[in-house]
Amino acid sequence: MTNHADDNKGYVLAKDCPSREILNHLTSRWGVLVLIVLLEGRKRFGEIRKQIEGVSERMLSETLKQLEQDGMLIRQSFDTVPPHVEYYLTDLGVQAAEKVHDLVDWIETNLSIILQAKPSK
């Protein structure tokens, strides 16, 4: 993460770098969970919501829209009655999902150690 003005690489530590907004979308509570769910394959809205316990319809909708705008997923509508919509990761989204999945896996694997290290209240 270097700050080179002559290349197209972002610099997340710079306050005006657009990479900060994308990082926020990818690493938000719901963003991480959506990426992990969609790493399994195509899903409908209801399937995603069912897998991610505690997410509201509004927050899931907003998260999906942000990830779509960032190029991480595709929302595919089918011309059927009733309407049928599926979401799936782009190649870029798969790369991002694999990276956050590694972090989540590390947290889950080390959860007892992490919880023991936390100061008691």
Task: Identify the three-state secondary structure at position 66.
Answer: helix
Cα distance from N-terminal residue to C-terminal residue, the chain: 37
Q: In sequence order, which ranges of 39-75 are alpha helices (DSSP H)?
A: 45-51, 57-69
Look up the pTM and report it.
Answer: 0.87
The string of pLDDT tens digits covering residues 28-86 is 999 999 999 999 999 999 999 999 999 999 999 999 999 999 999 999 999 988 889 99
Q: What is the pLDDT of residue 83?
A: 85
What's the fold here for domain 18-117?
Arc Repressor Mutant, subunit A (1.10.10)
Domain residue ranges in the chain? 18-117
Place of tokens 């190029």: 71
pLDDT of 112 > 90? The answer is yes
- E-state strands within the chain: 43-44, 73-78, 84-89
